[in-house]
Structure 1
Amino acid sequence: MPFVKIYIHFVWSTKNRFPYLNSLELREKVWNHIRNNSKEKGIYIDSINGYSDHCHCLISLGADQNIQKIMQLVKGESSYWINKNKLTKEKFEWQDEYFAVSVSESSVDRVRNYIKNQEIHHKKKAFQEEYDEFISKFDFHKQ
């Protein structure tokens, strides 16, 4: 049996960054559902949290898992569940895009803490501002 320990920090937003998840109670319900549903599918979620318009998730990949399949399962099923249970006034959708970055074992605790403190963090800085700062650190067009 292979031993694989690969952590990925995923971030994805709601469609057009609309604040569908506008209460702490609703967010906690959604994060708990994502965690429980993922466990049933063999996806190990180490940490999950977010804010009204996005989700952060630290996942440990299994030997037979890949980023695209995990995102398809997590985002697709959770949006279906949110709509089926009429948890939002409008039809809920996640943005098609997502962000995924590997996390070294030495940084796992720092990422867990960052994800855990999303409520506090986003009282100071909007998701778009945070995202733009992070992306500007990389020039994806250079070869």
Structure 2
Amino acid sequence: MSRTNHQIWTHVVWNTKNSENYFSLPFWTNYLNPLFFKIAHEKKIDLHFVNGYKNHVHALIKVKPNQSLSSLVKLLKGISSRRINEELGINHFQWQTGYYVSSVSPNRLEIAIKYIVNQWEKHQSIDFEQELKIFDFDEKIYSFINMK
């Protein structure tokens, strides 16, 4: 029996066009989380966690060896922006071009998950621009997470 075992975990972040604040916590809970998981299911994307804040998204995706991460992100961003526009009547909603991605070691998954899950709590003390500066230092991003 031939089988491929893989542990290709990625933490992906993207923001709204011009970093505009569109989202509230109830909107995340009631609309965006279910939307991203529905898209992931439809497109066979192994999305494990997704959360964000007013103007950005964090996603933990396990990439299969036969998948392209850029294609997966393109699907999540493209379909979600189209559905937000169509279903909610938000005219011209768009995501910013591009995204940030970092690989996540399997032994650091719990830390990455905690970071993604605690977005609303974390952003009480740090804004998105400060968060992006932290991402420039891979080791610091997950040590920053050690909050409750």
Relative to the length of structure 2, the TM-score reads 0.86
1:57 aligned residue (52, 56, 59): 59
2:35 aligned residue (17, 33, 36): 33
**Distance in 2 of aligned mates of 1:48 and 1:87:** 23
Give the AA of the match of 2:35. H
Q: 1:93 to 1:46 in 2, by over 3 A?
A: same
2:134 matches 1:133: yes
Give the AA of the match of 1:50. G
State the 1:27 CA deviation. Answer: 1.6
Structure 1: which 5+ residue stretches go unaligned? 139-143
2:72 aligned residue (54, 65, 70): 70
Please list the CA deviations of residues 42-97 of structure 1 after superposition, one character each: whole Å capped at 9, or x if unmatched: 10111110000000000001121111101110000000000011254x42110011
Give the AA of the match of 1:12. W
Return 98-107 or 62-71, whichever deviates more: 62-71
Give the AA of the match of 2:116. I
Provide the secondary structure at the position in 2 that maps to 1:56.
strand
**Distance in 2 of aligned mates of 1:25 and 1:82:** 15
Kindly tell me the number of residue pairs found equivalent between the two proteins: 135
**Distance in 2 of aligned mates of 1:91 and 1:66:** 27
**Residue matched to 2:20:** 18
| Conservation of the 8 A alpha-carbon contact between 1:20 and 1:53 | yes
Q: Percent identity?
A: 32
Relative to the length of structure 1, the TM-score reads 0.89
2:116 matches 1:110: no
Q: 1:45 to 1:93 in 2, by over 3 A?
A: same
Provide the secondary structure at the position in 1 that maps to 2:66.
coil
Provide the secondary structure at the position in 2 that maps to 1:8.
strand
2:111 matches 1:94: no
Please list the CA deviations of residues 111-133 of structure 1 after superposition, one character each: whole Å capped at 9, or x if unmatched: 00110100100111001111023
Runs of 4+ in 1 over 3 A off after TM superposition: none
**Distance in 1 of aligned mates of 2:116 and 2:134:** 17
Give the AA of the match of 1:97. G
